[in-house]
Structure 1
Amino acid sequence: MMQPLRPWHLAPLSIALGVLIVDDATAQTPAPEASASASHALVMGDWHVRPLLELRSQAEVRVHPFDTGGASIPAGPSTSTVGSAQPQVDNQWWVLSRGRLGIAAERGPLRAVLELQDARLWGETSALRFDARDGLPATSARLAFAEVRDTGPRASFLRLGRQEIAWGDGRLLGASDWSPTGRSLDAVRGQWVLGNFDFEGFSSILVAPGATPPGMRRGTDGDPEGAGAQLHGVRLAWHIAPLLHVESNNLGRFARQPTDDLLDPSDLYLTGLRIWGSYPGLSYALEGAYEAGRTAVVGTTRTRGAWAAAAKVLYEPGLFWDLGIGVEGAYATGQKSGEEDRLTRFDPILPDV
């Protein structure tokens, strides 16, 4: 639903300050396509070992936050209503402190990464929760995977463990690194590079199987064990030219009890197309997606049909601080009034925030 424009003096004001300290030679976790270089690693026999360190402090002050009149609306499943807002606030502030410490080891085609993360948040009002593991304070393994891979910027690989997975601009599947904890998935993932084509697939666990809450069982004889929630994806890419790349993105999410408060029991299927390209100083991307499926609601099952589209163009003339000018826009269908048995609100799966 479109909201009326608000006067300038009522517009929310947000001020964010951040400090990021990383080891220049070993900054953050190497990208999946990156390979350890002897000049950036400690050589221990046949192994190349790199320590990983990142410290981030971030402070935010919001005056009359959000366009809902100061109400902070928590994230929730796509079938939830907007009625579950937190109490309204005139001013909001918080300070986030996050540290990451780990190690990456590589020997020929073998590579392993372990990274621990501690995130703490102080403030008047807690930040929004965007992910199942985004509760704070949090101390856990953010990355823990092993892989076998080729060499080169576009390498074939097979990876098992907790890892970041990001597709395209992160509109459907992203690392969400600006959120308090970032996002990583427990998954098995592989990519096969054949000439100008990439074939990628993964299977991940969003919620582990476990006991079904008694109130969610079908009668007294209902199965006490539930399958949890899983996300699967297949991506096909064709690299035609620097200015023209075509990707087919396909996701399937299957959720059963037990779930968390961000997910309804459901089956969701998404297929999308992304066209993008770049040239020195210029880049663009066009993306569209359609999703279908079914969602369990108390007493019934609702079908789903929704779509979304986005486009962006960015020009960077080579100024200081990588300054540039860009235009982008996005649209997604919302819930249509009168559609009691059908969900038309688009579910972005696991987007960047």
Structure 2
Amino acid sequence: MTEVLLARARAGDDRAFQELVEPYRRELHLHCYRLLGSLTDAEDMLQEALLAAWRGLADFEGRASIRTWLYRIATNRCLNAIRDGARRIPPSPVPPFPPPEPTRRSETTWLQPYPDALLDRVPDQGPGPETRYALQESVELAFMAGLQRLPPRQAATLVLRDVLGYSAAEVAGMLDTTETAVKGALQRARATLDRSLSTGHRVAAGSSQEQELSRRFAAAFVARDLEGLLGLLTDDVWLAMPPAPHEYHGPAAVASFLRASGAWRGQRRLLLVPTRANRQPAYGCYHAEPGEQVGRPAGIMVLTIVGAGIGGMTRFLDNRLFDRFGLPSLARTGEYAPSRPA
């Protein structure tokens, strides 16, 4: 069947081409997201990669599978975009209040969340003998942030080898390099990434423990119960707010920011609408002005749960993402309760 479709596509049948690549579209989109860290850029790069594949059908010699050929094109398109500065770096927002001095400033301000609704549509290829990370691990925000801090070719090598399970020889062919270079890049990427990832116990996505912690977080956050919220955090908790570069690490630093944020919020009510991102519990945040019955978008909060506590909070300040998550443009007070599972 593949050979028939390939022959028709080479003859100029665009419908045959679409049928040929459709089984791989969603996983290629996720691949572009891993390399670029941006949902928006991944959508653009997927279209560029498929267009390049359509135009380059005559060069496909069949030595590798269609899937591997498409991954080669998508990987190199992403690397070219990063090299050429084509990745869109959003401007840093101006804080609406004087924030406390951050613990550090992040350079990966382009990071965006990935809706679980899209992850659910990615075909399960099953872990290969070369894989090191399961799907949940390889899309979590800490992993994604770690990838963005790697040199691009190291990140691509790690994803192709440890996430997708391609052999060193296959990756060398995709990146036009040698197996020795692949092994060296992979070793360096693993060492760097391992240092940036938490060693705490990873909670299963959707587990009762995850749901209970996210429920308690939502209840404390909405009630402005700072002490209750701090009691849920791990000792090495962090707070990040892309595309703002500010990061706060440790309970004291996080608490100082939450106090300043709470003072600015004043009498505005905070509403949380549950969703999921990167196989992690998440909430659409809304601010309701005093006396108003609806809340307006105020970012998407993604929780990183480690062991028996919340190890990270990432609040994405780009409200244009609400549409991608199927979140309402307005949230009515009383309609969403913090006790709903995330």
TM-score (norm 2): 0.21
More strand per residue: 1 or 2?
1
TM-score (norm 1): 0.20
Determine which structure has greater relative contact order: mean sequence separation of CA pairs < 8 Å that are 6+ residues apart, divided by chain length: 2
More helix per residue: 1 or 2?
2
